[in-house]
Amino acid sequence: MLPELFLDTSSQTARIWEENRRGEILDLFQREVYGYTPTARPKLHHQVTRQEQISPTVQMERITLTVGLDGKEASFEILLYTPVQNHGKLPVVVMLNPFSRSEALDHARRDAQHMPYQEITAKGCAAVYALVDGLAKDDKDQYHKGIFELFPRENPHSWGVISAWAWGGSRVVDYLCSRDIFDYEQIAVAGFSRGGKAALWCAAQDQRVSMVWSVASGCTGAAVTRGKTGEHVADITTQFPHWFAERYKAYSGNEEALPVDQHLLLGLMAPRRLYVSSSSLDSWADPQSEFKSLTLAAEAYHLYGLEAVDAHCSFPPVGEQIIKGCTGYHLRGGEHACTKEDWELFLRFIHRHFK
């Protein structure tokens, strides 16, 4: 049995959701799954380390974002791509990239698959590639350097590395909101796989994010945990003990006891825009369970009288995109990856919703 959006069926309104239930669900995800995000707001500084026109149409800035608290500091880099010709305020797509820095930069150089800035800027948007592993390395023995020196893990409900990357996404939003070239109402956050988990968690907590896209985020990302194939809580907490609150391990082989499931995480996006995509051969992430989660999240959108991909929509064939109201989905043919085809389909969704 999946947990319900509301415990009390007689009180299902957008007002009660916003004032009450939404906060309860968010708290359960913090306490039991991702851990509590620190509430202190350290000072944020930025430094532009490079600025160049990298093509006839695209300007690139390399920026270091640094947070400081009690004499300690942690930094990460972002690459910001803007169209050279730009009229009016720019919508932005932020891609959280937690993979190792050289791998991430290599992707950007090699084929831009994780961040096709040329195509994004051609649509009149800015693109940000956020190298959030600067805050916390994806390594169970090394992660505690960086942001965890400012906010250490102190108890079983303390935050983990996925939360730290998500927190980095919010610091990127802080930075964007300090520059008047961006449209603060049109900020999308995206991520692939472990980055997709972080993107969803960032958007769930930070309502300045107006759109989220998770690519093949799977277990403890978009996919419902109960009944999914492939990866389970036991696998993910054993292989990546640093990703979540320590408490999450208690649900290994005991998913039914979780007070939440991932469709509720997606529901926390309502009434904002939500896009999920999967790869057809990715049984570890489980496309069917990602899609199911999205359809169940529709209930939160319906509270606002908004349309969303729901139980009336069937699981699409490979290559087909479904967009219904505020949410969308596609299933790309192939392995676990984030490809140009994924971006093309997502950019259609952006085009529909951003100016």
Residue of closest CB approach to ligand GCU = 193
Distance (Å, rounded) from C-alpha 262 to C-alpha 284? Answer: 16
| Residue placing its CB nearer to ligand GCU in the complex, 36 or 284 | 284
CB of 219 to ligand GCU, least distance (A): 5
* E strands, 197-283, in order: 211-215, 273-279
- Amino acid code (one letter) for 252: S
User: Between vectors from CA 152 to CA 220 and to CA 268, what angle results, nearest 5°?
Assistant: 35
| Residue placing its CB nearer to ligand GCU in the complex, 25 or 236 | 236
CB of 231 to ligand GCU, least distance (A): 5
The strand pairing partners of 36, in sequence order, are 158
Supply the angle between the helices 194-205 and 161-176 in degrees, to the nearest 10. 60
User: Between vectors from CA 220 to CA 15 and to CA 125, what angle results, nearest 5°?
Assistant: 70
Torsion angle (degrees, nearest 10) of CA 262, 267, 272, 273: 50
CB of 282 to ligand GCU, least distance (A): 9
Give the pair of three-digit tokens for residue 149: 């020196």
CB of 26 to ligand GCU, least distance (A): 22
| Residue placing its CB nearer to ligand GCU in the complex, 103 or 320 | 103
| Residue placing its CB nearer to ligand GCU in the complex, 91 or 98 | 98
| Residue placing its CB nearer to ligand GCU in the complex, 47 or 238 | 238
CB of 336 to ligand GCU, least distance (A): 6
CB of 234 to ligand GCU, least distance (A): 11
| Residue placing its CB nearer to ligand GCU in the complex, 175 or 275 | 275
| Residue placing its CB nearer to ligand GCU in the complex, 233 or 303 | 233
CB of 98 to ligand GCU, least distance (A): 8
| C-beta separation of 103 from 44 below 8 A | no
Distance (Å, rounded) from C-alpha 262 to C-alpha 266? Answer: 6
Q: Report in angstroms the alpha-carbon separations of 233 from 156, 268, 280, 286.
A: 16, 21, 22, 14
Q: Which residues bind ligand GCU (CB under 6 A)?
A: 193-194, 218-219, 231, 236, 284
Q: How far is CA 12 from the centre of its chain?
A: 27
